C-alpha cells in the first residue's frame, strides 16, 4: 500500500482548576517568587485536587480533539497515552481512556518516555498511518505529576504541574502534515531525573514511602546542558531531513521545562524569539502533556496558517528526546 502523509486534524487540552502559585510555595518550602521566576520562568502551575486523576484530564482533552477533528471515536484505530503518572499499574490508562471515549475498535496502551512521550507517540502514530495500518490515531500526553513531588525539596517541587493535551492524527490533504520525526534515548543518564521507588526494584512499602523514594529526584545542572544540546540537535536533524533550515520555521514549540532552556535552544538554533512559544509561566513542567497543551494553545490563538512550518522538540527523563517537523 502506498504511503500517505499523516496530519494533526484536531487538538485539545485540559487541566485542573486548582492553581499552585509561587506565593503558595513560599509558605511550604524555603523559596521565593523571585528565586523561582529567575531560575525557571514559572509563576504558577495547575495542581489536581484529591479525587482527580490522570485519565480524567486526558478524556476531557481527547473529547475536544475528537470533536475538532470531526470524527467518530469508533473510527480511531490507535490510542496512545504518554504518561509517567498513570491512573494505576493495570490496566493501562490508555485502555481506561478508550473505554470512556467509546473508541472500542482501537488498540490502546501507555507509553513511558517522560517529557518526550507525546513526540514518541506522534512518531509511532505517524508511521502506522503512513503504512495504512490505521486511519486515525489519538495521541495523548497526560500527567498528574504533583502526586510525585516532594514539597520539602525546593529543587523539584517548584517545577511540576498537572494537565493533559491530545491530538487526533489522520491522513493529510495535499502537501501538509508530518514531514519528519526523530526520537532518541540514552539510559546511561537515567539517574539525572528519576523516581527510585514504587516499582519491582524498590517496591512500595511503608518504609520506602516514608523515605520519599517514590518522589522525583533530579540533577538539574547536568540535565540543563543535555536538554539544550539534544533539543537543538534533533531540531536540526528533522529540518535537514525535510530539506529546510531554522529560518524557514514559522513556529517553534519546545517542551516547557525551564525558560532558560527554551531560550538557550532558540539561541543555538539562531531563531527569532518571536516564533518561540512559551507557556511555562502558567503551567510549569507538565512532562508528556507539555507539548500538546502548548500546541493546542497555539491552535486556539490562530498562530499557524496553512503551509506554515511548525517545529516541535522535547527532552525528558530516561533520558529521552525527540523532534518533529509539521507543515500545517
Active site residue 270: no
Choice among 22, 95, 285, 298 that is catalytic = 285
Which of 95, 255, 258, 283 is flagged as catalytic? Answer: 255
Question: Catalytic: 283?
Answer: no
Long-range contacts of 124-127, Cβ-Cβ distance < 8 Å, separation of 24 or more:
124/80, 125/6, 125/78, 125/80, 125/169, 126/6, 126/169, 126/178, 126/181
Chain-centroid distance of CA 167 in Å reads 11
Q: Which of 115, 157, 258, 283 is catalytic?
A: 115
For the question of residue 255 being annotated catalytic, the response is yes
Question: Helix or strand or coil: residue 20?
Answer: strand
What pairing do the DSSP bridges indicate for beta strands 136-144 and 76-82?
Answer: parallel
Cα 42 to the chain's mean position, in Å?
17
Strands of the chain (E only): list them: 6-14, 19-21, 44-46, 76-82, 107-111, 136-144, 162-171, 177-185, 193-194, 217-218, 251-254, 309-316, 320-327
Least Cα distance to 255 among 307, 199, 324 occurs for 324
Lookup: cell for 43: 509563576
Q: Which positions are annotated as active-site residues?
A: 115, 255, 285
Amino acid at each position: 500500500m502506498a504511503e500517505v502523509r499523516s496530519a494533526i486534524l484536531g487538538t485539545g487540552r485540559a487541566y485542573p482548576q486548582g492553581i499552585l502559585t509561587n506565593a503558595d510555595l513560599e509558605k511550604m518550602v524555603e523559596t521565593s517568587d523571585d528565586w523561582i521566576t529567575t531560575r525557571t520562568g514559572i509563576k504558577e502551575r495547575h495542581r489536581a485536587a484529591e479525587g482527580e486523576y490522570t485519565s480524567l484530564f486526558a478524556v476531557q482533552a481527547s473529547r475536544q480533539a475528537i470533536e475538532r477533528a470531526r470524527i467518530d471515536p469508533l473510527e480511531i484505530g490507535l490510542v496512545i497515552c504518554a504518561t509517567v503518572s498513570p491512573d494505576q499499574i493495570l490496566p493501562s490508562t490508555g485502555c481506561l481512556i478508550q473505554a470512556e471515549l467509546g473508541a472500542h475498535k482501537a488498540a490502546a496502551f501507555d507509553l513511558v518516555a517522560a517529557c518526550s512521550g507525546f513526540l514518541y507517540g506522534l512518531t509511532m502514530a505517524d508511521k502506522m498511518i503512513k503504512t495504512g495500518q490505521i486511519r486515525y490515531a489519538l495521541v495523548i500526553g497526560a500527567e498528574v505529576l504533583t502526586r510525585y513531588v516532594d514539597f520539602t525539596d525546593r529543587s523539584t517541587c517548584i517545577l511540576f504541574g498537572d494537565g493533559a493535551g491530545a491530538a487526533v492524527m489522520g491522513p493529510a490533504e495535499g502537501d501538509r502534515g508530518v514531514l519528519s520525526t526523530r526520537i532518541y534515548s540514552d539510559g546511561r543518564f537515567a539517574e539525572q531525573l528519576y523516581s527510585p521507588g514504587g516499582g519491582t526494584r524498590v517496591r512500595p512499602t511503608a518504609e520506602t514511602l516514608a523515605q520519599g523514594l517514590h518522589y522525583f529526584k533530579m540533577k538539574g545542572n547536568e540535565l540543563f546542558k543535555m536538554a539544550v544540546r539534544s533539543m537543538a540537535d534533533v531540531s536540526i536533524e528533522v529540518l535537514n531531513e525535510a530539506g529546510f533550515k531554522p529560518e524557514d520555521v514559522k513556529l517553534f514549540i519546545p517542551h516547557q521545562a525551564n525558560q532558560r532552556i527554551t531560550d538557550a535552544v532558540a539561541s543555538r538554533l539562531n531563531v527569532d524569539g518571536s516564533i518561540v512559544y512559551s507557556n511555562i509561566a502558567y503551567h510549569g513542567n507538565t512532562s508528556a502533556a507539555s507539548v500538546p497543551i502548548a500546541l493546542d494553545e497555539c491552535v486556539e490563538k490562530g498562530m499557524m496558517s496553512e503551509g506554515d512550518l511548525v517545529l516541535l522538540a522535547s527532552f525528558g527523563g530516561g533520558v529521552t528526546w525527540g523532534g518533529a517537523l509539521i507543515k500545517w
